[in-house]
């Protein structure tokens, strides 16, 4: 098995210029290799940096596998919050909603509803991501 740092370096090397020709098989193989590694929980930020470089993409569906791999790791919620605070993008904002759906409203002292509210006003977020956050908040009000 390769060193986790080598895998992270490959993930970090994926650039937006590659989006039209992103090697999905390679991305999937990296994800499988990464999540089978014992040190995976310590380096989850690599995947959030990928989401931030491809803010509207889903990697041909591979990003969903990555999302599920992230959610299975202990301590992943703190990485979700840090990513949304750094650069709100589709999948991390969705992950905040999923955490809320699980019954948790706080992560590491961060109020997740307040975090979603901040996304609705964050100029760094795309209009689509702002609308996602608004929709997730509206559901909270409807369900309350």
Percent pLDDT > 70 in the chain is 94
**Torsion of Cα atoms, 119 then 65 then 52 then 137, to 10°:** 0
Cβ atoms of residues 112 and 78 within 8 Å: no
Q: Mean pLDDT check: name the lowest of 15-19, 76-80, 115-119.
A: 15-19
The domain in which residue 21 lies consists of 4-143
Q: Find, among 103, 122, 124, the residue nearest to 134 by Cα.
A: 122
Beta bridge partner(s), residue 111? 106
Helix, strand and coil in the chain, % to nearest 5: 70, 5, 25
**How many domains does the chain divide into?**
1
Using the predicted structure, report yes or no on whether residue 19 has a pLDDT greater than 60: no
Q: Mean pLDDT across the stretch 61-90?
A: 96
* Alpha carbon 143 to its chain's center: 25
Backbone angles phi, psi at 74, to 5 degrees: -65, 140
């Amino acid at each position: 098995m390769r060193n986790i740092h080598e895998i992270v370096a490959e993930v970090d090397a994926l650039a937006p210029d590659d989006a039209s020709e992103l090697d999905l098989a390679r991305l999937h193989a990296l994800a499988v290799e990464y999540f089978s590694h014992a040190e995976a929980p310590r380096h989850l930020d690599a995947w959030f940096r990928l989401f931030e470089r491809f803010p509207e993409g889903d990697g041909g569906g591979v990003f969903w596998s990555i999302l599920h791999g992230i959610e299975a790791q202990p301590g992943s919620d703190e990485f979700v919050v840090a990513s949304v605070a750094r650069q709100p993008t589709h999948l991390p904002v969705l992950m905040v909603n999923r955490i809320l759906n699980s019954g948790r409203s706080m992560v590491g002292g961060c109020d997740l509803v307040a975090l979603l509210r901040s996304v609705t006003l964050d100029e760094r977020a795309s209009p689509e991501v702002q609308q996602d956050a608004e929709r997730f908040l509206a559901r909270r009000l409807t369900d309350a």
